[in-house]
Amino acid sequence: MSTATKDISDETPINTAIHSESAPHPDTGYRQYAIGSFTFERDEYFARVKSPTGTHVVDIENFLRSMMRDVAWGFFYGWVNFDEVIGTVNLYGSVDLYMGTYNSAYREAGTDYVERFDSQNLLACFKSMLKDWTNAGFDPFAAPLETGTARGPKNGNNDVAVDFQRELADRFVTLPGDSEIRSDERGFAINRQFTDVSQGEPEVHAEPGFEGQIAAFNLFKYLSRSPVTWNPSIVSIVKNSAYCPTSEEHILPIDHGNDRVEWFIQLSDEISWRVGDKDSGAPRAVITMKAGDVSCMPADIRHRGYSPKRSMLLVWENLTPGLEKRYASGELPPVPAVF
């Protein structure tokens, strides 16, 4: 069985088309979207994605949760697999939208299809779809136990949830002019599952001359007040090293295909990760991480996390420009250390 990566060379032309959207459907109230040769429709339960080689149907709540991440993260690093069939690959300026391209059964059947778009144009299409298809009472960033349903005919919208901006520190939380600590006053209440987390803050006593350059904050308190799930913030940036902590509950809506190595440090509770081959989706491992466990996700896998209760995770990212090309070319091995 061939699992060779489909060759998507840098010479693939970029379709600069902008999307079109229909009038609201007379029965369901939802608009249909089209960009390039892809079309998107939703009904009361499902999203339906059509390409020239096939139709793919997805549960609407899972679809919106995935779409929310793809939009909010500007296509993220590498692959955002909504499921085992459809998703996007970030080429940083352009983006591939695919059906079955990273699924060995689709490739063998010849029903895989990919089209490359200008990132801003695809983002505009996805944002408009996300807004139209998200009903009042459903927050695609929230844990399922903390929100209503997306199902049913069109019922208002939830732009406040869909426009949620994650906090991205430039250097470090609490440095002058940078991200602030989370508090009730700023609208960040303690989550129902983190009421036992200490809410104290460290005292900072800088030596004369170093005022404004020394900072510390309580990361557990910060995460205990995260209103969303599976949506890393940035709390520190040191050169190209970014600390991206996040609070997790239920399932990571996307199966992230790494274009670089990334590290996970489980700060509380437990997450199980299903790990698969990045190109074919073939299962490779299940990893259960408990508080204090550290793991490295290689550059040649996809992973999806399962968090049975709200937990705290630190994702450590390497933002070095061009890193994705060095892994893709084989210059760098897919793991950080070879024994």
Q: List residues near Fe ion by CB under 5 A.
A: 256
| Minimum CB distance to ligand PHB, residue 253 (Å) | 9
Of 184-192, 198-206, 215-223, 244-252, the window that binds ligand PHB (rule: CB under 6 A) is 244-252
Over the window 252 to 281, marking each residue x when it contacts ligand PHB by CB under 6 A and - when it does not, the resulting string is x---x-----x-------------------
Residue type, 239: K
Closer CB to Fe ion, residue 50 or residue 256? 256
Residues 301-320, interacting with ligand PHB (CB under 6 A):
313, 315
Residue nearest to ligand PHB (CB): 256
Pairing mode, strands 301-318 and 241-251: antiparallel
How many C-beta neighbours within 10 Å does residue 21 have? 15
- Decide if residue 232 touches ligand PHB (CB under 6 A): yes
| Minimum CB distance to ligand PHB, residue 70 (Å) | 11
Both tokens assigned to 187: 């609208």
- Residue of 9, 126, 138, 2 whose CA lies nearest to 68: 126
- Of ligand PHB, Fe ion, none, which one does residue 252 interact with (CB within 5 to 8 Å by kind)? ligand PHB
Residues making up the chain, counted from first to last: 339
Provide the CA 168 distance to its chain's centre, in angstroms: 15
| Minimum CB distance to Fe ion, residue 3 (Å) | 21
Closer CB to ligand PHB, residue 135 or residue 266? 266
| Minimum CB distance to ligand PHB, residue 175 (Å) | 24
Print burial letters for 195-221: b (CB count within 10 Å at least 16), e (below 16): eebeeeeeeeeeeeeeeeeebebbbbb
| Minimum CB distance to ligand PHB, residue 256 (Å) | 3
| Minimum CB distance to Fe ion, residue 257 (Å) | 8
Q: Which of 33, 230, 243, 327 binds ligand PHB (CB under 6 A)?
A: 230
| Minimum CB distance to ligand PHB, residue 246 (Å) | 4
Residue type, 291: A
Pairing mode, strands 38-42 and 236-238: unpaired
Residue 58's alpha-carbon distances to 86, 135, 150, in angstroms, are: 10, 17, 13
Rounded to whole angstroms, the Cα distance separating 143 from 131 reads 19
- Of Fe ion, ligand PHB, none, which one does residue 232 interact with (CB within 5 to 8 Å by kind)? ligand PHB
- Decide if residue 32 touches ligand PHB (CB under 6 A): no
Residue nearest to Fe ion (CB): 256
Rounded to whole angstroms, the Cα distance separating 312 from 335 reads 24
7 Cβ contact list (under 8 Å, min separation 6): none
Both tokens assigned to 44: 């009361």
Number of residues that bind ligand PHB (CB under 6 A): 9
Q: Which of 246, 280, 307, 311 binds ligand PHB (CB under 6 A)?
A: 246
Rounded to whole angstroms, the Cα distance separating 229 from 161 reads 12
Q: Which residues bind ligand PHB (CB under 6 A)?
A: 230, 232, 246, 248, 252, 256, 262, 313, 315
